[in-house]
C-alpha cells in the first residue's frame, strides 16, 4: 500500500454537490483517487473513487453487488485482504490511513471508526459469549475494570432495545436470533462513541419486519451520538430512509452523487434511473415486463 503516491487519473471530476454545511471545513473522512486491485490478475475493484464525509453526515453508498461498495468500506477500515493492492489516499480527520501501520489502524478501529457487517450470523465468534466479545471493544481502547465494562456493555445492549440485556450478554451467538445478533453488533460498534460508523448492508440478512426496526434504531443511535455514517446498501428505499446524501457506485467507479431528494427526482446516470424504476414497481403497467436495471444501461428503459 502506497499512500497517496500513485494517484492517477483526473480528480475532482465528481459533481461536488456533496454536503450542505461543511464544504470548506476539514472533512471527517476524505477519499481521493482510490484504486483497488485484487489478486494475481489485478482485477480492478475500485476506480479512482473520491468522496468526502463531513462530521455527522450520513452518506449512502448504493450499487449492485460486486460494484465495490464493501471494498470501499473495507479500504477505509484497512481490512482488505492481503491480495488487495491499493493506491490513492484515505484521510480520517486529516490523518492518512493508507499505508499506516497496523498498530495505528487497530487503535483507530472500534474507537473512532466502527463497522457493522452484513452477516450477523457469522460475524460473531461462536465460541465466546457475546457480552465478552462486546467488552473487548471497550477494553482494547480504554482501561476499565471488568465490572464497569460489563455495565457499559449491558447499557449499550439496552440502548439497542435488546430484551433482557443481562441474559443476552451471557448468551452464545448461536442462542440469539439474527436480529438480536445484529443489534449486538450495532451496540458493540456504538460502545466507544465512534465518530464514524461504516454500515455494510446491515439489514440485508434480516427479515423485513426486523429490518425496519433495526433501521429505526440505527437512525436514532446516529442522531443521539452525532456520528457520521457511510451506509452501504443495494436498496434505494433503505438508503433513503437513513441518509441525506447518496453516492452511486457502478463497476467500481462513482457515477453519481448528491442529496437524496435531488437524486431521486432527477437522476442523471442510466444506472441510477434503472435503480429508481426497479424500486417503483407499483408504477409498472399491469401485464408489462418489469423494468430491470439492465434495460436502462442499454438505453432501452423509458
Partner 1 sequence: MALVSLVARRVGVFAVSLLGATVVVFFVAEALPGDVAEAMLGLGATPEALEALRHDWGLDRPAVIRYASWLGGLLHGDLGASYLTGRPAAAEIGPPLAVTCWLVGLALPLAVLAALPAGLLAALWRRRWRGTALSFLSQLGMAVPVFFTAIVLVVVFAVRLGWLPAVGYADLVTPAGLNAAEWARHLVLPVTALAVVQASLLARYVRSAFVEVLTEDYLRTARAVGWTRWRALLRHGARNAALSVVTVVGLQLGAMLVGAILVEAVFGLPGLGSFLLQKVANRDILVVQGVVILLVAVVLAVNLAVDLVYVALDPRLRQQGASRQSGRRLSADKAGRAGSGPGSHW
- Which parts of this chain interact with partner 1 (CB under 8 A)? 77, 79, 82-83, 102-103, 106-107, 109-111, 114-115, 117, 119, 122-129, 133, 136-137, 140-141, 172, 174-175, 185, 188
Quote the least distance from Cβ 187 to partner 1, whole Å.
12
Residues 6+ apart with CB under 8 A from 260: 60, 239, 240, 243, 244, 245, 246
Please give the Cα distance from 257 to 13 (Å, whole number). 11
Min CB(301)–partner 1 separation in Å: 36
Q: Which is nearer to partner 1, 24 or 102 (CB)?
A: 102
The residue behind cell 495505528 is 104
Kindly tell me which of 39 and 66 has the beta carbon lying closer to partner 1: 39
Classify residue 1 by its DSSP letter: -
- Shortest Cβ distance from residue 56 to partner 1 (Å)? 21
Q: How far is the CB of 115 from partner 1 (least distance, A)?
A: 4
- Whose Cβ is closer to partner 1: residue 147's or residue 174's? 174
Pairing mode of beta strands 245-250, 253-259: antiparallel
Helix, strand, coil in percent for the chain, rounding step 5? 35, 20, 40
The residue among 191 and 248 lying less far from partner 1, judged by its C-beta, is 191
Q: Which is nearer to partner 1, 47 or 111 (CB)?
A: 111
State the minimum distance, in angstroms, from the CB of residue 80 to partner 1. Answer: 10
Distance CA 99, CA 300 (A): 44
Q: Comparing C-alpha atoms, which of 242, 158, 246 is closest to residue 203?
A: 242
Amino acid at each position: 500500500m502506497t499512500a497517496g503516491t500513485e494517484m492517477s487519473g483526473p480528480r475532482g471530476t465528481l459533481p461536488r454537490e456533496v454536503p450542505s454545511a461543511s464544504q470548506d471545513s476539514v472533512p471527517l473522512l476524505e477519499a481521493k483517487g482510490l484504486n483497488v486491485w485484487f489478486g494475481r490478475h489485478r482485477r480492478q475493484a475500485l476506480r479512482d473513487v473520491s468522496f468526502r464525509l463531513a462530521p455527522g453526515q450520513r452518506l449512502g453508498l448504493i450499487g449492485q453487488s460486486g460494484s465495490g461498495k464493501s471494498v470501499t468500506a473495507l479500504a477505509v477500515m484497512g481490512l482488505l485482504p492481503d491480495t488487495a493492492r491499493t493506491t490513492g489516499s484515505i484521510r480520517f480527520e486529516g490523518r492518512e490511513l493508507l499505508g499506516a501501520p497496523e498498530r495505528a489502524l487497530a487503535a483507530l478501529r472500534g474507537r473512532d471508526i466502527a463497522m457493522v457487517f452484513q452477516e450477523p450470523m457469522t460475524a460473531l465468534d461462536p465460541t465466546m459469549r457475546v457480552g465478552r466479545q462486546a467488552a473487548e471493544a471497550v477494553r482494547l481502547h480504554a482501561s476499565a475494570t471488568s465490572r464497569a465494562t460489563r455495565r457499559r456493555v449491558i447499557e449499550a445492549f439496552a440502548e439497542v432495545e435488546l430484551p433482557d440485556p443481562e441474559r443476552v450478554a451471557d448468551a452464545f451467538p448461536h442462542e440469539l436470533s439474527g436480529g438480536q445478533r445484529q443489534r449486538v453488533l450495532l451496540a458493540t460498534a456504538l460502545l466507544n462513541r465512534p465518530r464514524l460508523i461504516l454500515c455494510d448492508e446491515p439489514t440485508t440478512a434480516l427479515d423485513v419486519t426486523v429490518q425496519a426496526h433495526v433501521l429505526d434504531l440505527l437512525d436514532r443511535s446516529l442522531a443521539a451520538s452525532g456520528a457520521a455514517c457511510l451506509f452501504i446498501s443495494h436498496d434505494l428505499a433503505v438508503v433513503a430512509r437513513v441518509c441525506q446524501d447518496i453516492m452511486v457506485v457502478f463497476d467500481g467507479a462513482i457515477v453519481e452523487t448528491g442529496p437524496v431528494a435531488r437524486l431521486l427526482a432527477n437522476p442523471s446516470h442510466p444506472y441510477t434511473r434503472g435503480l429508481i424504476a426497479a424500486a417503483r414497481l407499483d408504477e409498472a403497467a399491469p401485464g408489462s415486463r418489469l423494468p430491470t436495471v439492465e434495460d436502462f444501461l442499454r438505453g432501452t428503459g423509458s
